[in-house]
Amino acid sequence: MTSVTERVVIVGAGQAGGRAAEALRAAGYLGEILLFGEEPHEPYERPRLSKSLLLGEEPPAAASLHPRDWYAAHAVTLRTRTRVEAIAPKSRAVITADGQRVEYSKLLLCTGSRVRPLSGAPDGLAGVHYLRTLDESERLAAELTPGRRLIVIGGGFIGLEVASSALKRGATVTVVERQKTLLDRVLPAEIAARLASLHAAHGVSLRTGVPVARIQGNGAVKSVQLADGTELAADLVVIGIGVIPNTELAETAGAASSDGLVVDEQCRTSLEHVYAAGDVTNHYNPILERRVRLESWQNAQNQAIVAAHNIAGKTRPYSEVPWFWSDQLGTNIQMVGVAEPGMQIVWRGERVAFGLADGRLRLAVGFDAGGEIRVARRLIESRAQLSPQRLADGAVKLKDLLAEATCSASTP
């Protein structure tokens, strides 16, 4: 049983931090839990920020992780508007921006990530937005009125979701992407092309393969100039060019970091008694047999739960097939696994694409195909050799392929 004099300090009151507090209690941890977050809000989930909240379909409270009274009811001390500035690992303490020193028995870092700034973007120009926080989502939603000309800089998932929501709110939308294809970092080109067609068919203007030269305006944004000289008139600009993991706090304290804080399968960093979970981590995925840094709801949720269990003394490894979803223009997009350079792409009809490497399924992307993606996740997990022809053949049930894969895996 846990002594009540123990204290877990969680830094970062986002999705991972909030879920970890909940999971600690669920795992029977009886010590103190102190949750520090620099935002003014209680922990919330971000996926709605670019979807229903931007569309005004739900109130901001819909994104909250827990009801307001949950924290007191579960003896979780939540300190919002409090940034943790430093970690003193030897004396097992954190120091807040207002100078408090708080000791911990175990420390969990859920500091997430922040938006990557567009270099050269002018500061304080009205109409120029980033989207990471609830406040930013509310400010953008207030400006998304019909007829406005929106330029989205960055053709990743966030940018494309903003494009989709803005279109629905009556804006005219252009997406500018410096790479030749959308979603260059996360999807093979031929699968990303499907998304480009979806956006084009709904009237989103796509400018790929050209970087932005400058954002122009005087007080308020007027236009975006591209490197090829094109000038796009703009009332609003949303910059969505990726995120940077918030590793500095732990790095300064000596934690190992390589594209995210390096954690082991129990979510332990290289610092004793210090764990990490969510966007900020880089972990080895035994199913994919490689290290990954994931920016997803699933990873924030489930890695945080695993970290909490390990902190509570219940040894549990984190091992899951990565899963991500996005909603755009009335289409639900789901992907499982991760893209790898040079993978073989196989389409199963119009709605599902598979990515194979060395005969194994490593990636599946579905367009309104949740059922198929659920089976594909298990096919990736099986790590079985699969026939591309049979995966592509709509007459062959994926469930049958899974039965064969699991059967061959259990045959000595």
Ligand X SMILES: Cc1cc2nc3c(=O)[nH]c(=O)nc-3n(C[C@H](O)[C@H](O)[C@H](O)COP(=O)(O)OP(=O)(O)OC[C@H]3O[C@@H](n4cnc5c(N)ncnc54)[C@H](O)[C@@H]3O)c2cc1C
> Which residues of this chain interact with ligand X, rule CB under 6 A?
11-17, 36-39, 46-47, 49-50, 83-84, 110-113, 131-132, 158, 246, 249, 278-279, 295-298, 300, 324-326
Nearer to ligand X, 115 or 176 (CB): 115
Q: How far is CA 384 from CA 48, 58, 403, 407, in A?
A: 36, 43, 11, 10
We find the least distance from the C-beta atom of residue 296 to ligand X, in angstroms, to be 4
Instruction: Tell the smallest beta-carbon distance from residue 406 to ligand X (Å).
Output: 27
Beta carbon nearer to ligand X, 302 or 326? 326
**Cβ distance to ligand X smaller for residue 110 or 144:** 110
CB of 168 or CB of 222, closer to ligand X: 168
Which residue's CB is nearer to ligand X, number 284 or number 297? Answer: 297
Please list, in sequence order, all residues whose beta carbon lies within 8 angstroms of the beta carbon of residue 341, skipping any fewer than 6 positions away: none
CA distance 232 to 397: 48
Of the two residues 70 and 297, which places its CB atom closer to ligand X in the complex? 297
> Given the complex with ligand X, which of 112 and 154 has the nearer CB atom?
112
The minimum distance between CB 224 and ligand X, in angstroms, equals 21
CA angle at residue 158 from 213 to 175, to 5 degrees? 40
Q: What is the largest CA-CA distance in the chain?
A: 71
Q: Which residues contact 389 (CB under 8 A, 6 or more apart)?
A: none
Q: Which is nearer to ligand X, 21 or 391 (CB)?
A: 21
CB of 342 to ligand X, least distance (A): 25
Helices vs strands, H then E, count in the chain: 10, 26
Per-residue tokens: 175: 């997406």
- The minimum distance between CB 80 and ligand X, in angstroms, equals 9
Contact 180, 208 (CB under 8 A): yes
User: For 324, what's the count of Cα atoms within 13 Å in the CB-facing half-sphere?
Assistant: 16
**How far is C-alpha 283 from the chain's CA centre?**
15
Closest approach of ligand X to the CB of residue 54, in Å: 8
In sequence order, what are the residues at sequence separation of 6 or more whose Cβ sits closer than 8 angstroms to the Cβ of residue 336? 321, 322, 323, 324, 363, 364, 373, 376, 377, 380
Beta carbon of residue 278, minimum distance to ligand X (angstroms, whole number): 2
Give rounded-to-5 percent helix, strand, coil for the chain. Answer: 25, 30, 40
Q: Shortest gap between Cβ of 336 and ligand X (angstroms)?
A: 11
Contact 310, 268 (CB under 8 A): yes
Q: Give the CA angle between residues 7, 133, 185 to the nearest 5°.
A: 100
Q: DSSP code of 121?
A: P
- Minimum distance, C-beta of residue 92 to ligand X, in the bound complex (Å): 17
Using the minimum distance from each CB to ligand X, give the nearer residue, 235 or 279: 279
Q: What are phi and psi of 240, to 5 degrees?
A: -135, 75
Instruction: Pull the structure tokens for residue 276.
Output: 């990490």
